[in-house]
């Protein structure tokens, strides 16, 4: 394929709803990445050597090396914050009931754990506000969003990437206003709270929002003029539709999400990318009203997420980022030829008029054959061209 644009030019054209030379391709982020145990066989299949680096210990995502990203025609690169100065976190190993566990406490005090004999994902093992009352919230040690030591060196890194590479630049994901509530509380208790004590939920979300407002003030102050995309998100939907009452979303969650989106947009001209899994079509008008520009991961196997329908109804206003293949039924189990055909159909639905960035639906998981991963990205490159 004759490429007429740089990667950055290509992605910017697509997210501005203009025709690029080909559909931009993404891989390597926190919601658009690859599990380390899928990455290892991919390296072997491609004959590429790389030291294993973990981007996200909770999801066990790898940092793909440049050789892999170039082979798969990936147009994006990521710029991520780091732990604040003096942070004492990190993974600790503990033995419980005769089993070795890897434990990680995050900034909000939530503990994530993974058994050593599994090493697939971390799940929450401690919800620090499980028994809290509303009166306890003000005394809880919320993280300091104004500790901008998280961003030390990021501006210099972003300037080098813009100067020395042709790639589009995105932040890692943040802005998790809603989900942290149930991380802190526990899912069962949180869902009960939403029904019987929504004011408690609102108070928790006020604290998470305050953190992210301060965080993005510092982050965008460093790199807001250099990044092309800012990634935020909260899962709102599951396989069959919304995970909780849309009325609760619209009265409690949405106003706080909207404040954050509008705050970020006041600090940067970068496009706002929003992640929610599941059948989220009913929420797309709300998300557009919040001010988002792109939706990820576009779970095409969920209810109401047909690519042609989504493109027809929302394609003029919304960038679809993902949706490249049915990641539940096709990518892990089909032949490479079937993967290729599935990708072709989805790209043909999403790409007219720009407004589309290709990726798998969410992360590439352990067990996906490496030949299918290569077929996925090669098909995107082969079928993504614009006349």
Contacts of residue 188, defined as CB under 8 A and 6 or more positions apart, other chains included, come to: none
- Residue 101 and residue 198: Cα distance in Å, rounded? 35
Q: What is the pLDDT of residues 280-310, one digit of tens each?
A: 999 999 999 999 999 999 999 999 999 999 9
pLDDT score of 305: 98
Is residue 374 within 8 Å of 343, Cβ to Cβ?
no
- Residue 325 and residue 168: Cα distance in Å, rounded? 23
What's the gap between Cα 363 and its chain centre?
9
Region of 298 on the Ramachandran plot (φ > 0 left; ψ -120 to 50 alpha; else beta): left
Q: What is the pLDDT of residues 222-272, one digit of tens each?
A: 999 999 999 999 999 999 999 999 999 999 999 999 999 999 999 999 999
Closest CA to 125 of 89, 94, 88: 94
pLDDT at 89 over 80: no
Alpha helices in the chain (DSSP H): 7-15, 36-46, 66-71, 154-164, 179-185, 187-196, 198-223, 246-248, 254-265, 284-290, 307-314, 336-350, 370-383
Q: What band does 1 get if pLDDT is binned at 50, 70 and 90?
A: low
Average pLDDT over residues 370-384: 98
pLDDT at 13 over 80: yes
């Amino acid at each position: 394929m004759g490429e007429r644009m740089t990667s950055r030019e290509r992605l910017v054209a697509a997210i501005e709803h203009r025709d690029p030379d080909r559909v931009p391709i993404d891989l390597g982020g926190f919601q658009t990445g690859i599990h380390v145990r899928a990455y290892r066989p991919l390296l072997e299949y491609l004959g590429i050597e790389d030291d294993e680096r973990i981007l996200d210990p909770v999801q066990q995502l790898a940092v793909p090396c440049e050789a892999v990203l170039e082979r798969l025609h990936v147009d994006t690169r990521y710029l991520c914050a780091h732990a604040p100065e003096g942070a004492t976190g990190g993974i600790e190993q503990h033995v419980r009931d005769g089993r070795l566990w890897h434990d990680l406490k995050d900034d909000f005090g939530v503990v994530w754990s993974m058994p050593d004999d599994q090493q697939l994902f971390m799940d929450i093992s401690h919800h620090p506000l499980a028994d809290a009352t509303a009166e306890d919230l003000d005394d809880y040690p919320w993280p300091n969003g104004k500790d901008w030591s998280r961003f030390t060196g990021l501006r210099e890194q972003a300037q080098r990437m813009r100067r020395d590479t042709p790639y589009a630049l995105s932040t890692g994901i943040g802005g998790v206003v809603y989900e942290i509530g149930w991380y802190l509380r526990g899912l069962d208790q949180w869902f009960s709270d939403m029904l019987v004590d929504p004011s408690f939920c609102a108070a928790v979300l006020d604290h998470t929002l305050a953190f992210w407002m301060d965080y993005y003030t510092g982050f965008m102050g460093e790199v807001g003029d250099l990044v092309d995309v800012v990634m935020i998100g909260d899962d709102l939907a599951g396989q069959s539709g919304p995970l909780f009452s849309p009325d609760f979303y619209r009265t409690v969650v949405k106003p706080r999400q909207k404040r954050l989106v509008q705050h970020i947009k006041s600090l940067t001209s970068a496009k706002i990318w929003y992640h929610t899994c599941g059948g989220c079509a009913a929420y797309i008008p709300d998300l557009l009203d919040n001010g988002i520009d792109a939706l990820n991961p576009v779970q095409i196997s969920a209810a109401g997420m047909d690519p042609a329908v989504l493109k027809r109804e929302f394609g003029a206003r919304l960038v679809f980022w993902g949706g490249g293949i049915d990641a539940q039924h096709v990518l892990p189990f089909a032949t490479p030829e079937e993967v290729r055909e599935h990708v072709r159909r989805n790209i043909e639905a999403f790409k007219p008029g720009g407004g589309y960035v290709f990726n798998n639906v969410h992360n590439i998981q352990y067990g996906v054959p490496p030949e299918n991963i290569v077929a996925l990205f090669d098909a995107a490159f082969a079928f993504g061209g614009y006349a």
